[in-house]
Structure 1
C-alpha cells in the first residue's frame, strides 16, 4: 500500500510525497483535467462542497476553486496563476487568495511505471505555514488516497 508522507522542511515549507501505481502522464492528467481533479481534491471527510473548478493548466494560465462550508455564510474562493507547467513532470502555481498564500510545486517522477508525486508548499511566513499544516497534515493523505483510488479505477 502506498503511503503519504507530510514533513515540515523549514520554518516556511512543507513537503508531501506519495508514490502512485500509474505512469506520470496519467497522474499528471488527474492534476490537469478539472473533471478528474474535482473527483479527488476535496477530502471525503471534509464538510466541504466544491461548487466550481476552473483550471487552465498551462504556464500563465489561471485557476479558481470555489468551496462551500456549512460553517460559513459565503462560499470560499481559492485562486492563482500557474507559473510553470511542464507536461508529465511539473506544475507550479501561486495561491493568491491572501497575502499569506503559498507557492505550490508538484513534481511527477516516473520509475518503472510508478510515479512519485512530490508536493512542496513555500509560505511567506512561519505563521502561515503553521496554519496551513493544521489542515494539510490530515487533508493531503486523504486527498492522495482518493487520487490513488481514481487512478486504480482507470480514469
Structure 2
C-alpha cells in the first residue's frame, strides 16, 4: 500500500510520564478524544501491548452519528513510541520526545482516500490539540 503520510505534532507543557499516561489511559482518553465540542468519546478500551487492540467510540453529542476508531498495536516502547494498524490497513506511528519540562508528540498516519488530506490533517490535529488542552489543565 503506497499511501501518503500526514504529519501532525504538538508540544505539551507536561512531563513525558504524565503525557504517556493520559494518552493511553481509557478514562483519560474519554475526556480528550474529540475534534470539536459537539463530539465526545463515550467509551474507550485499550490493551497497550504488541498485538493488543484499542477501540474508542467517537460520537456526535446530538446522537446523529457515531463510529468506532479501532486498531491493533504493532509496536509499543513505553515513554517513547507507539505504532498501530487500523482495520483498513492504514498505519500510524506516534513518538513522544522529552523537551525540557515539555513533551513533543509527533503523529504520522496514512491518509485515507475518502476525504481531502487537509481535512484529515485538521481533524487529527484538533484531537491532538484537545489532548494538549486536557493534559495541561489536568
TM-score range, shorter chain: 0.7 to 0.9
Change (3 A) 1:95 1:110: same
Q: Deviations over 1:35-55 (max 9, x none)?
A: 11121111224x434232111
Counterpart in 1 of 2:14? 22
Counterpart in 1 of 2:55? 64
Distance 2:17 2:94 in 1: 14
Q: How many angstroms does 1:11 deviate by?
A: 5.8
Change (3 A) 1:132 1:24: farther
**Pair 1:108-2:100 in alignment:** no
Counterpart in 1 of 2:135? 151
Structure 2: stretches of 5+ with no match in the other structure: none
Structure 1: stretches of 5+ with no match in the other structure: 1-9
Task: Tell me if structure 2 keeps the 8 A contact 1:11–1:129.
Answer: no
**Equivalent of 1:139 in 123, 131, 136:** 123
**Equivalent of 2:108 in 117, 120, 132:** 120
Q: How many angstroms does 1:18 deviate by?
A: 1.3
- Spell out the pairing of 1:70-89 with structure 2 (5 A cutoff): 70-72=63-65, 75-89=66-80
Task: Tell me if structure 1 keeps the 8 A contact 2:6–2:121.
Answer: no
TM-score by length of 1: 0.74
TM-score by length of 2: 0.82
Question: Larger relative CO (CA 8 A, sep 6+): 1 or 2?
Answer: 2
What RMSD over aligned residues (CA atoms) do the two structures have, in Å? 2.3
Q: How many angstroms does 1:131 deviate by?
A: 2.2
